[in-house]
Amino acid sequence: MMRFRDLSFRYKIPLRATLLVLVTAVMLTAANVTREYDQLRTDLFENAESLGQVLAMTLITPMLHDDLWRAYEIISMPVQTESPASLGAETMLVLDSRKRVYTSTRPREHPIQMDLAQLGATYARLAQELDAAKLVSSRAIELPEAREFHLLMPIVFDGVPLGTLVMEYPKSIFQPRFVSIVNRAALITLLVLAILLPISWYWGRRMADPLIQLADCMSRVGDNIPAEAECRLYESRDEIGRAGTQLKLMLGALREKEALEQQIIASERLAAIGRITAGIAHEINNPLGGMLNAISTFKRHGQPEHMTTKTLPLLERGLMQIKETVAALLVEARLQSHPLTAHDLDDIQTLLQPHIVKQRVHLVWRGTLTEPAPLPSTQVRQILLNLLLNAVQAAEAGSEILCDIRREATFLQLRVSNQGQPIARDRLAHLFEPFVGATAEGHGLGLWVTYQLVQQMGGSIDVESSEGVGTVFSVVLPATEPVS
Amino acid sequence: MERRVFLKGLGAAALGVAAPALGSVNVLGNVLRIGLTPVFLDDQAAFLNRWRDYLAFKTGLQVSFVQRSSYREISEQVNAKSLDMAWMCGYPYVMDRDRLKLMAVPLHLGKPEYRSYLIARHDEGEIHGMNDLAGRVFAFSDPNSFSGSLYPRFLLHREGRNYEQFFRRSFYTWSHRKVVEAVAVGLADGGAVAGYVWETLARIRPEITARTRVVSTSPVYGFPPFVARKDVDSAVFTIVQNVFLDMRGDPEGERLLETLNLDGFVAGTPDMFDEIREMARLVDQR
């Protein structure tokens, strides 16, 4: 069972509008009916009184002359001629001075000369009313138990009461009017609803849609935060618009926080790996140095037999390979080198040339250095070369590779991008770890080394890779001009 | 027959030459004034206009009908000479017989006679005669009507009763037709009405008579006659009398008689009303 409060605003708003219209219509109709009732009642009694006065005057002569038939004709005229809708009297009754029936428009029910009190309960009450006070002028009587309103009108001649005219009006006389009022009100209400419902439906949608967008967007926030493009939010300065704007800000902050967290996790992991590899490298380097020294000494001073002479170089080459690998893992910027110049950048282009030709790609080079930058040229060259070689390898034939070098006051930015297949998402998270990018052609230490070098220079390296755009590595190295 | 032809010739002469002279002598203001009473259904204005025009055309006189609310007023106006002729009940006629001349007596169902009907409501089964109306409400037509007043009073008188004590309440409606209506609506338990009026009403307004029932009928008495003052010029009297007696002779007269539910007129004799006179003498001690 669906509860009203669970309904969408799309339906709640039109339903509430309908309810409002109905309540208004009912209240207005009730007010109208009440007013009409009062008005009709006043009209009825006013009409009855003026008619009663005329009749009472006209009845004087027949009553004085005891002309019963004429009296009957006088009272039956208005009863017969008036249509039921025109607030006409239903029954008229003339009483003589002793409150007996003189004549009546319903003679069978009101036999001539019968006492008013004997005609029935209602008439007995009327007789009591007549006894209670001398009737000087007309009196309207509304007995709660009676089906009719009664108007009593004295017939007086020269101060002498001749009798009483009793006029009866059915209480249901107003019913047709009420029915017509209510019918009219219902019709108008239906018309108003017919106009208002589509409008309120439209309003409901207008009001509900931003809320629904907001709710949809918020419900999507879970394990991952929806991108800005995923949430279509209503833009305005009203409350919903403000909530939307606020949500956007919050999502932005959440996204930033998440990115930051991942970056921290990645860099912490890389730092841990760095420490482990450095430790292992040192542990290996010491015995390795000893072993290589021993081999060297043995080759120089010993008299090796034929078999040993064949084996030693094998051993030495193996140990040298270990040393190289360890050296590659243990990136250390111990080497002093000259500051980076435009010449170094040209060298890189020259070095790359054979690979570009082989892969059939175009290299677009933007920016250069106008004066030497205070950065060790060897390391920067290695970074740039590593990134460019990777880019050339990943690029498809005929595509473009962009190298953008920007020298700002406090840093040097290097951007290398290609348009090849983007890097898979799960690989992207571990991209800078050693042996991750291992292929047939390399041992997968290039990016690790690059990362280490950048880290040692206090810089940062970022990668963005997406479908259609390609992969962009961007390196920022702090390079403040020495104050001289 | 020869006499009629002669009279017709006289009528034609009066029409052509003598009319103004006649009028100046004895007809008041050159207009023949005829009083009408509710001995018939006198509430048909268009019909009365047609009848008046017919009489005017036939007599060559200007004719005017005068209607009053009671028989008495018509009788008084005849006596006061402000009316020349009148259609009145046999009862006032016999009362004023010395001053009136019988002119024409209508024929109903071929005879110059009618009856008094005692009627009651159609759904009132307990009333079979006058005695059953004791202590009830009774409607008379006019105090000077024979069928609607004198005859029922005579019935009570014959039993040694007085209507004022016999009935709980009685009243006059001043017209036969209204007696029928008073009984039909239940205002009166019984009423006395001219049989001719009840029968005619049954033809033109059957829904009214259907609510009443004829309890008993009287023997036949002289039909309410047309009378003239004795001093009305005899030539005028004869002309008018002949127009009445010859009404069946032309199509318009035929149509008027049809509406009146009459067969024609005869001259009649005063002794036709002797019984009524006797009855009046008995009941009213006159």
- Nearest CA to CA, how far is A180 from chain B (Å)? 34
Mean pLDDT is lowest, of A76-85, A293-302, A390-399, for A76-85
Q: In angstroms, rounded to a whole number, what is the distance separating the alpha carbons of residues B286 and B284?
A: 5
Q: Which of A72, A108, A113 has the CB atom closest to B169's CB atom?
A: A113
Which of A63, A92, A102, A112 has the most B C-beta neighbours within 10 Å, making it the best mutation to test the interface with B?
Answer: A112
Contacts of A65 (CB under 8 A, 6+ apart): none
Contacting residues of B for A103, CB less than 8 Å apart: 187
B100-107 and B226-229: which strand pairing?
antiparallel
> What are the C-alpha distances in Å from A310 to residues A19, A264, A298, A317, B261?
103, 51, 13, 12, 169
Query: Is A83 at the interface with chain B, CB within 8 A?
Result: no
Checking if the pLDDT of A423 tops 90, the result is no
How many other CB atoms are found less than 10 A from the CB of residue B128?
A: 12
Per-residue model confidence (pLDDT) at position B27: 53
Question: Is the sign of the CA dihedral A426, A427, A433, A436 positive or negative?
Answer: positive
How many percent of chain A have pLDDT more than 90? 13
SS3 A3: coil
Q: Residue type for A300, please?
A: R
Contact flag A108-B186 (C-beta cutoff 8 Å): yes
Average pLDDT, chain A: 84
| Higher per-residue confidence, B94 vs A143 | B94
Q: What is the CA radius of gyration of chain B?
A: 19
Per-residue model confidence (pLDDT) at position A299: 81
Query: Is B171 at the interface with chain A, CB within 8 A?
Result: yes
Q: In angstroms, rounded to a whole number, what is the distance separating the alpha carbons of residues B170 and B189?
A: 10
Contact flag A69-B171 (C-beta cutoff 8 Å): yes
The pLDDT of A161-167, averaged and rounded, is 92
Per-residue model confidence (pLDDT) at position A83: 58
| Burial grade of A451 (CB within 10 A; 0-12, 13-18, 19 or more) | buried
Contact flag B169-A72 (C-beta cutoff 8 Å): no
Query: Is A108 at the interface with chain B, CB within 8 A?
Result: yes
Q: In angstroms, rounded to a whole number, what is the distance separating the alpha carbons of residues A348 and A391?
A: 14
Instruction: Provide the total of helices (H) and of strands (E) in chain A, helices listed first.
Output: 10, 12
Please, which pLDDT band fits residue B93 given cuts at 50, 70 and 90? very high
Checking if the pLDDT of B115 tops 60, the result is yes
Contact flag B172-A67 (C-beta cutoff 8 Å): yes
Tokens of A447: 């990016």
Three-state helix/strand/coil letters over chain B = CHHHHHHHHHHHHHHHHHHHHHHHHHCHHHEEEEEECCCCCCCCHHHHHHHHHHHHHHHCCEEEEEECCCHHHHHHHHHCCCCCEEECCHHHHHHCHHHEEEEEEEEECCECEECEEEEEECCCCCCCCHHHHCCCEEEECCCCCHHHHHHHHHHHHHCCCCHHHHCCEEEECCCHHHHHHHHHHCCCCEEEEEHHHHHHHHHHCHHHHCCEEEEEECCCEECCCEEEECCCCHHHHHHHHHHHHCHHHCHHHHHHHHHHCCCEEECCCHHHHHHHHHHHHHHHCC
The pLDDT of B4-21, averaged and rounded, is 40
Query: Is A72 at the interface with chain B, CB within 8 A?
Result: yes
Per-residue pLDDT tens over the stretch A393-413: 888 888 888 999 998 888 899
How many percent of chain A have pLDDT more than 70? 94
The pLDDT of B197-215, averaged and rounded, is 94
Per-residue model confidence (pLDDT) at position A82: 56
Per-residue model confidence (pLDDT) at position B17: 37
Instruction: State the complex-level ipTM.
Output: 0.83
Mean pLDDT is lowest, of A374-378, B9-13, B27-31, B243-247, for B9-13
Could you tell me where the beta strands, DSSP code E, fall in A344-395? 362-366, 373-376
Per-residue model confidence (pLDDT) at position B11: 41
Please, which pLDDT band fits residue A68 given cuts at 50, 70 and 90? very high
| Higher per-residue confidence, A247 vs B266 | B266
Nearest residue on chain A to B185, judged by CA atoms? A107
Which of A69, A74, A108 has the most B C-beta neighbours within 10 Å, making it the best mutation to test the interface with B?
Answer: A69
- Nearest CA to CA, how far is A102 from chain B (Å)? 10
- Nearest CA to CA, how far is A44 from chain B (Å)? 27
Tokens of A287: 């015995």
Q: Which of A66, A69, A108 has the CB atom closest to B173's CB atom?
A: A69
Checking if the pLDDT of B141 tops 60, the result is yes
Q: In angstroms, rounded to a whole number, what is the distance separating the alpha carbons of residues B238 and B104?
A: 11
Checking if the pLDDT of B186 tops 70, the result is yes
| Higher per-residue confidence, B27 vs B281 | B281
Q: What is the CA radius of gyration of chain A?
A: 55
What backbone torsions phi and psi does residue A263 show, to the nearest 5 degrees? -65, -45
- DSSP-assigned letters across all residues of A225-285: PPPGGG------SSHHHHHHHHHHHHHHHHHHHHHHHHHHHHHHHHHHHHHHHHHHHHHHH
Nearest residue on chain A to B168, judged by CA atoms? A113
Per-residue model confidence (pLDDT) at position A166: 93
Q: In angstroms, rounded to a whole number, what is the distance separating the alpha carbons of residues A168 and A151?
A: 7
Q: Which of A258, A260, A248, A185 has the alpha carbon at shortest distance from A217?
A: A248
Mean pLDDT is lowest, of A64-73, A84-93, B81-90, B128-137, for A84-93
Q: What are the b/e assignments for A192-217, b being 16+ CB within 10 Å?
A: ebeebeeebbeebeebbebbebbeeb
Instruction: Please list the residues that pair with A156 across neighbouring strands.
Output: A161
Query: Is B17 at the interface with chain A, CB within 8 A?
Result: no
- Nearest CA to CA, how far is A42 from chain B (Å)? 32
Q: In angstroms, rounded to a whole number, what is the distance separating the alpha carbons of residues A431 and B24?
A: 150
Q: In angstroms, rounded to a whole number, what is the distance separating the alpha carbons of residues A481 and B53?
A: 143
Per-residue model confidence (pLDDT) at position B2: 40
Please, which pLDDT band fits residue B229 given cuts at 50, 70 and 90? very high
Q: Residue type for A9, please?
A: F
Residue pair A450/A387 in contact (Cβ under 8 Å)? The answer is yes
Per-residue model confidence (pLDDT) at position B224: 95
Per-residue model confidence (pLDDT) at position A333: 55
Q: Which of B254, B131, B118, B247 has the alpha carbon at shortest distance from B192?
A: B118
Q: Which of A68, A76, A108 has the CB atom closest to B171's CB atom?
A: A68
Contacting residues of B for A66, CB less than 8 Å apart: 171
